[in-house]
């Protein structure tokens, strides 16, 4: 009897976690590219000073 209770509670817990994960995935909103000045940010310090941080510059940093 005790084993069945643990198995049931564990399966319910797993089902709830899967349901929550699916809800989080479906409720996610897309991010606005360039919002809050992030698209053409000018670098202020370092080797690339006064350059615009576009996709070419960011790819070289990786």
Average pLDDT over residues 52-57: 68
Residue 11 tokens read as: 């399966």
Q: Say which residue, 7 or 56, is predicted with more confidence.
A: 7
What pLDDT, on a 0 to 100 scale, did the predictor assign at position 52?
78
Render pLDDT for 16-53 as a digit per residue (tens, 0 to 9): 999 999 988 888 776 666 666 666 777 788 887 888 77
CB 40 within 8 A of CB 54: yes
> Which structural domain range is residue 44 located in?
32-62
What pLDDT, on a 0 to 100 scale, did the predictor assign at position 15?
96
> Do 24 and 38 belong to one domain?
no
> Do 36 and 62 belong to one domain?
yes
> Do 21 and 7 belong to one domain?
yes
């Amino acid at each position: 009897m005790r084993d069945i209770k643990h198995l049931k509670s564990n399966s319910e817990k797993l089902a709830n976690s899967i349901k929550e994960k699916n809800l989080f995935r479906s409720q996610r909103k897309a991010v606005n590219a360039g919002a809050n000045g992030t698209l053409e940010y000018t670098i202020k310090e370092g080797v690339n000073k006064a350059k615009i941080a576009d996709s070419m510059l960011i790819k070289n940093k990786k």
